[in-house]
Amino acid sequence: MDKATSAQPGAALAIARHMARLRNFRTASQILSRVDLDELGLIDQCFAGITLLSAQDGLLADQLLAPRLAALEDRAHGRAEAARLGEWIQLSGLRTTDKLHALGRLMAPLSGPQANGSTIRGLRFREFRLRQGALEKVDVLEYFQGDEEDPFQWKDNLRYVGDLVTHGHAETARTLLERQIARHGFRDRAVVEASLRFDSGSLVQDLQVIPEAFHGIPGVLALAHDLRSHGPAHEDFFDACQAAARKGYGAMDVYSKDSLLRVLTVKDLLSDLDTLVPHLSGLPDTMLGARCGHGLIAMVEGSNRDAAELLRSVLVEDPNYTIAATGLRFVQARLDDGVTVIDLRNQIGYGSASAGRPGIRLGDRDQATTLLLQGHYLKSWSVRRTGPHWRTLKRDLGSRFLNYEALPEDPGSSLFLIADDGVGDEIRTAQYLGELAERYRVTASCDPRLLTLLERSFPSVEFIGVPRRVRGVLNPVYDGRYSDFLLASHLTAACDPYVAAADHVTFGQNLTFNRFAGVLPREDTGAYLVPDLAREVATPGDRLKVGLVWKSHFSSGSRRMMYLGVEQFEPLLGVDGVDFWSVQHTIDPAESAYCVEHGIRQIEDVDLFDDFEGLAGHLASMDLIIGISTVPMELAAAVGTPAWLLGFSPENYYYRTGGGATSIDQLSRNSTVVAPPWIDFTAPYQDCVDLVMADCRDRLVRLVRASRPGRGE
């Protein structure tokens, strides 16, 4: 920055380009503030405008753009100029209609030999993205084909592969890729990466054909990471990419190093990052990937103030670095400085995602989760109505669709309920189905694993099984109906007749919104799901039967801070008069061995992941379940088994207690949040776990004494 202050305009511009390439947009923007931007050529002005939009100076960027747009027809634009100006227009703070008009004016003069060139295709793709972002009903094939006789010949059309798939044109995407593979083979990195993204990499039947020179490239490593669970060959490929990245790191330039470190933060490969960059000493502050990585490592280690300082410094420079924002949200919940991520967003915005404007974005995850931590349930749910999937249904269904809105007073009308979010959320939402069925004729989608359980529990409701998840992973069906990932997962073609016939359409989380709005009643206790008597499990004799669950199916990254290891239950295991059972639905061999060694029984006659009827029978036979919020915990509470949710993290505690106002779980029935009211979340993670486990042990001893006279300590 000091060099830039005293540098000549040309040198200052070069330094700003360097900083922007490293995504240090705030610093680059500050350097540009010392340059007379009006005197720059068009290419340099485009760079300046895009950089300002990527920081917090979007208003200045739009002011700089205005005269360029006013004189758009006054000069011919070269290909590079048109391409960069198109990017500036797309990212600007103009209204979408004005952006589209400007792009149309920019494309109009591009005729003759340029008409089918890469520039016009790039601008056409920007128009497609703008219309799609505005939730217009667009035909991706129209943009992919354009005026081309053979759009499959152009490698730059690989940018459409993902959109072709989500709009129901997977075979067109396959043809495009096959043509490009035939032309370039796998010696072209763009073809390799596009092929790995498509259909879980099915077009790359032999991963050994991918040149070793590509293995250490950050984008290829990221894709290898995502595909590693597909089989031994994919695991070997990921290992090879990891090894190549580690080996090649020292010879990389600073831009490639930072790009690699960013991938390692996003993919939760922090041990790899720590190996490559064991400390920040000697590294320039401009390497945000390293700073973010060490911020996340500090978070995991419980050094929350260090983590906050590092992650804040990253976000101030690059407000669009999402993993840094996620980490900071977790860290701020563990500090006592009264500052939230919302406060920071109000200062820095989201970079290019908010057109360089400071301020919180309505419905952003930062906002919704911070409001939950503060106990502002109604507002936390209401701001989520900005989600593009629900806005799409609002566009299509109009007033029939209730998007975080009050349920209507319309007795006897028909209502279709979309099962959304995770299966645990679906189970929890089912507590309102009885009341809903008294008001409306209800049809509801559900996870097929819950179908018979729900039909038995709510005989007046018609249920439709929608297999939107496979082993916990969303499984969208892109058949051309919805290009949105969530709608394609939750609202399959089988639902269409019911949606068309319903007087009202809504979704599970809107029932929770209506509970906090006072439209639906809330009951703290009482079973609402009825297990199958044929799957009934015998209840114990004079000993308490207690289930333990310690993690979700998804337990990577910062989510681990809300979960436990099975060994952390050890303080409870010595309580006399209790038989402990694992009800953990995803358990690895080491955890299973621990259970055997420490006398924690395991359910062996039921697939705890797929057989919810069998799991419900076991849970109903238990006196208590202890652990964290996940499917077994929610299902136990639903069948009437008391649940103790361990509040060792701010998320587990504040989310469920109205910001600490009560120990009664505000989301699930039959659930109590266990934690001393004086718990201090600024303490290290393990200290909080130890405190909560001690409290839980005391409660369990008292429960044994009350339930089994003569037992307990």
Stretch 419-441: mean pLDDT, rounded? Answer: 95
Same domain, 11 and 93: yes
Average pLDDT, the chain: 93
CA distances from 225 to 222, 235, 448 (A): 5, 8, 30
| 557 domain residue, yes or no | yes
Same domain, 438 and 555: no
The predicted pLDDT at position 712 comes to 42
pLDDT cut 70: percent of the chain above it = 96
The predicted pLDDT at position 257 comes to 97
Boundary residue ending a domain (95, 113, 138): 138
Same domain, 459 and 582: no
Same domain, 621 and 670: yes
The predicted pLDDT at position 475 comes to 74
Residue 232 has pLDDT above 80, yes or no: yes
Boundary residue ending a domain (117, 138, 159): 138
Lowest mean pLDDT among 248-252, 280-284, 467-471, 531-535: 467-471
CB atoms under 10 Å from CB of 118, counted, come to 14
The predicted pLDDT at position 556 comes to 63
Residue 3 has pLDDT above 70, yes or no: no
Same domain, 539 and 672: yes
Helices H / strands E in the chain, number of each: 35, 12
Same domain, 503 and 564: no
Give Cα 97 to chain centroid, integer Å: 29
CATH number where 85 lies: 1.25.40.10
Same domain, 1 and 107: yes
| 191 domain residue, yes or no | no
The predicted pLDDT at position 542 comes to 84
Same domain, 551 and 695: yes
Angle between helices 189-197 and 218-227 (to 10 degrees): 20
Question: Which is higher by pLDDT, 213 or 110?
Answer: 213
Angle (CA) 6-9-13 rounded to 5° is 100
CA distances from 624 to 125, 324, 363, 529, 644 (A): 56, 38, 36, 16, 7
CATH number where 499 lies: 3.40.50
Residue 711 has pLDDT above 90, yes or no: no
| 300 domain residue, yes or no | no
Q: Quick one: which of 305, 323, 310, 317 has its CA closest to 348?
A: 317
CA distances from 230 to 197, 237, 317, 357, 475 (A): 13, 11, 37, 42, 15
Q: Which residues pair with 646 in a beta bridge?
A: 674
Domain hosting residue 694, numbered range: 533-707
Q: Are 354 and 364 in contact (CB under 8 A)?
A: no
| 111 domain residue, yes or no | yes
- The model's confidence at residue 633, banded by pLDDT at 50, 70 and 90, is very high
| 613 domain residue, yes or no | yes
Q: Quick one: which of 261, 267, 303 has its CA closest to 283?
A: 261
Same domain, 474 and 581: no
Residue 301 has pLDDT above 50, yes or no: yes
Round the CA-based radius of gyration of the chain to a whole number and report it.
Answer: 28
CATH number where 562 lies: 3.40.50.2000
The DSSP string of 520-552 is: S---SS-------GGG--PPPSSSEEEEEE---
- The model's confidence at residue 555, banded by pLDDT at 50, 70 and 90, is low
The predicted pLDDT at position 114 comes to 45
Is 526 exposed, middle or buried (CB count within 10 Å of its CB: 0-12, 13-18, 19+)? exposed
Q: Are 623 and 546 in contact (CB under 8 A)?
A: yes
- The model's confidence at residue 710, banded by pLDDT at 50, 70 and 90, is very low
Stretch 498-515: mean pLDDT, rounded? Answer: 97
Stretch 642-662: mean pLDDT, rounded? Answer: 94
Strand order in the sheet with 624-627: 601-602, 578-582, 544-549, 624-627, 643-646, 671-674
Residue 596 has pLDDT above 80, yes or no: yes
Residue 452 has pLDDT above 80, yes or no: yes
Same domain, 395 and 453: yes
Give the separation between CA 41 and CA 712, rounded to whole angstroms: 82
Which is it for strands 414-418 and 504-507: parallel, antiparallel or unpaired? parallel
Residue 372 has pLDDT above 60, yes or no: yes
CA distances from 78 to 10, 147, 601 (A): 22, 21, 72
| Per-residue pLDDT tens digits for 186-203 | 999 999 999 999 999 999
The predicted pLDDT at position 252 comes to 96
- The model's confidence at residue 2, banded by pLDDT at 50, 70 and 90, is low
| Per-residue pLDDT tens digits for 257-289 | 999 999 999 999 999 999 999 999 989 999 999
| 246 domain residue, yes or no | no
Domain count, the chain: 3
State both tokens at 575. Answer: 């309580």
Which helix (H) or strand (E) segment is 225 a member of?
Answer: helix 218-227
Same domain, 553 and 702: yes
The predicted pLDDT at position 708 comes to 61
| 12 domain residue, yes or no | yes
- The model's confidence at residue 539, banded by pLDDT at 50, 70 and 90, is confident
The predicted pLDDT at position 585 comes to 87
Give the separation between CA 35 and CA 56, rounded to whole angstroms: 17
| 205 domain residue, yes or no | no
State both tokens at 308. Answer: 């906050």
Same domain, 576 and 698: yes
